Structure 1
Amino acid sequence: MSNIVDDIKREFAKSENSLVKIILINTAVFLVLLLSKIILTLSQSSHIYGWIMDMLQLPASTTDFAYRPWTLITYFFTHDDIFHILFNMLFLYWFGKLVDEYLGAKRVIALYLLGGIFGGIIYMVIYNLLPYFQPHLEQSKMLGASAAAFAVAVGASTLLPNYTFNLIFLGPIRIKFIALFYIILSLAQTVGPNAGGNLAHLGGALVGYVFIKMLQNGTDLGKPLYAVMNGWSRLFRKRPSMQVTYREKQVYRSTSVYSSASSSATIEMPNQTEIDTILDKISKSGYESLTKEEKQKLFKASQQK
């Protein structure tokens, strides 16, 4: 057990594995809720578990939301079904790895958070505006990372539409078709029993597409989030120890110099020869053969007008 805890601590100590951290947080929340559900049910206090879930799920009712505004964040870190979290985390990992490789860890976080937030807003707005959903307004609540995962998936598909995944029984499939299939599926189910969740999926998908398109045009929608994350990181950063040296009755105070962890070094705009070399490598060995620097250079080149 101590080895598992140590492994988790090491993962959180790393600066460039945001995708793993998101998955670990979701998994930890799920396990804590699962354990709470078992204990409270056996002790005949299941109503307490219901209250806990109410504090984490996003309500469709704006009146309820006014008393629990934090649920706009907590809902997409909360799952109560093992297959729900398993599918969401696998979906997030497969597509998130591509975003991480090409754009860096911080943009995985930006897509995840913006997709989850905007998906939740779309869910509430449509439930409160369309008469079709009015009879279910007070009872409807939403949880799960699907909208956030959809943002990452569509973001990756917008960035690398022709990248292929090898699917069991189907063989190599371009990820743009995988994303399109799930978008159509969600659209078809917006009038089904899980209408709210599917509306959120579409909101997350829209965020993923817009985020990448604007990034390619030089506008990064994640900048406000990066500022918040940097401030949060500084808040919990361990202060360097102060060393005092005495020499000939003079006191010298020195502190160790801290270089803030940043994402990969800024990649310069590649010239045409470099681009041709990268494209030749892709045609011979596929996207997977590129180094992280080559992937970032390819993205940089795509931003040229």
Structure 2
Amino acid sequence: MLIIANAVVYVLILIALQSRQPFVRDIIEWLPLDPRALARGHVWQLLTFQFLHAGTFHLLINCAMLYMFGRPLEMAMSRSAFLKLYFGSGVFGGLVQVAGAWLLPNQFGVGPVVGASAGVFGLIAAFAWINRDTSITMLLGFIIPVSMKAKYLLAVEVVLAVLGLLSGDSGVAHGAHLGGMAFGVAYANYIVLGNLLRFFPKRTRRTIRPPELIRTRASRGKRDFSNSGFDDKDLPPEEFISREVDPILDKISQHGIQSLTERERRILEMARSKMNRR
């Protein structure tokens, strides 16, 4: 839906730009994220700028990344959690860019900002943080396939954004990219993985930190979860976790959170409910 929304808005903006009505162009000018306008109270721009793009290539690259990294995340999360991650990354990235424009205008630039990049970089960062040791293949220049672990992709993106800032205003909102990635990592660490930690009894929970959850679970032996059902609603939380949730966590450690089926996600939701009732 986000890809469709971005494409539809892009087409509508192109059509609106052909209008000779001054008020139409005035409305369009209110949509990008402008540091000076935000200071005057145009807070809606923190949302609207995420649906605008500077050109067709800008739109296509963002939609491609949105599909590549957003689809597995949305399958692993609830839709509301996914949207919070996406728009939260966009808003926070926008705020970082605006703050940078106020404090260091030569590095961040002071012009209006458009694009879904902050939200997309948030998705990339969240995916990489959850699936750090998962190998992914990217098409360099849309031609050359390059394989690397997700954590290295995140590191490369951070370095490129920092170098972009140090080189001065280049017309690219590197501050928004960094802000989006920071929000994505924080969301993945404290919301996504944090929710998984709540499944564990207290005596186990204090030995596991969110960034090491996947690695810690990988140290356990393999389990057969093909026959695991979740009709044992009266089981104590600890036993339910041992019988139903542990095999799923082992699967996440081996194949990443995007490998979960709808049935396994329902088991995790049930486990969360059981722990909340304790």
The interval holding the TM-score normalised by the smaller chain is: 0.5 to 0.7
Aligned 8 A contact 2:248 2:264 in 1? no
In the TM superposition, residue 119 of structure 1 has moved relative to its aligned partner by 0.8
Question: Would you say 1:146 and 2:117 are equivalent positions?
Answer: yes
- One-letter amino acid matched to 2:12: V
Within 2, Cα distance between the matches of 1:30 and 1:176?
32
Residues 188-203 of structure 1 aligned to structure 2 (within 5 Å): 188-190=163-165, 191-194=167-170, 197-203=173-179
Partner of 1:228: none
- TM-score, length basis structure 1: 0.62
| Counterpart in the other structure of 1:115 | 89
Number of the residue aligned with 2:4:
24
Which secondary structure state, in structure 2, belongs to the residue aligned with residue 167 of structure 1? strand
* The one of 266, 276, 294 aligned to 2:264: 294
Task: Identify the residue that residue 209 of structure 1 maps to in structure 2.
Answer: 185
Residues paired across the two proteins, number? 224
Q: Structure 1 141/294 Cα, relative in aligned 2: closer, same or farther at 3 Å?
A: same
Higher-Rg structure is: 1
SS of residue in 2 equivalent to 1:271: helix
Cross-structure match for 1:250: none
Q: CA contact under 8 A between 2:122 and 2:183: conserved in structure 1? A: yes
Distance 1:292 1:270, change over 3 A: farther
Identity of aligned residues (%): 21
Report the RMSD for the aligned CA atoms in angstroms: 3.4
Deviations 1:92-138 (A, max 9, x none): 1111112112222212100111111111111111111236459x53x
Check 1:33–1:170 CA distance in 2 against 1; reply closer, same or farther (3 A cut): same
> Please, which runs of 5 or more residues in structure 2 have no aligned partner?
197-232
Residue aligned with 1:56, SS: coil
Deviation per CA, 1:246-300, whole angstroms, max 9, x where unpaired?
xxxxxxxxxxxxxxxxxxxxx98642676357747986xx557652333676897
TM-score between both structures, scaled by the size of structure 2: 0.68
- CA distance, structure 1, for counterparts of residue 243 and residue 42 of structure 2: 53
Q: Deviations over 1:56-112 (max 9, x none)?
A: 111122x55415221111001111301111111111111111211222221210011
Distance 1:69 1:271 in 2: 47
| CA–CA distance in structure 2, aligned partners of residues 22 and 30 of structure 1 | 12
Counterpart for residue 101 of structure 1: 75
The answer for the alignment partner of 2:137 in structure 1 is: 166
Q: What aligned pairs does 1:222-233 form with structure 2 within 5 A after superposition?
A: none
Unaligned runs of 5+ in 1: 1-20, 220-266
Maintained 8 Å contact 2:90/2:180: yes
| Offset of residue 141 of structure 1 | 0.8
In structure 2, relative to structure 1, the CA distance for the partners of 1:36 and 1:277 (3 Å cut) is closer
Q: 1 CA distance for matches of 2:62 and 2:49?
A: 13
Which residue of 2 is the match for residue 241 of structure 1? none
Distance 1:280 1:109 in 2: 25
1:180 corresponds to which residue? 155
* In structure 2, distance between residues paired with 1:65 and 1:128: 10
Matched residues in 2 for 1:171 and 1:131: separation? 35
Counterpart AA for 1:163: T
Q: Match of 1:245?
A: none
Q: 2: distance between equivalents of 1:180 and 1:170?
A: 18
Could you tell me how far apart the structure 2 residues matched to 1:171 and 1:132 are? 34
Aligned to 2:29: 54
Helix, strand or coil for the counterpart of 2:148? strand
1:173 deviates by: 2.7
CA contact (8 A) 2:245 2:268 kept: no
Equivalent AA in structure 2 for residue 189 of structure 1: G
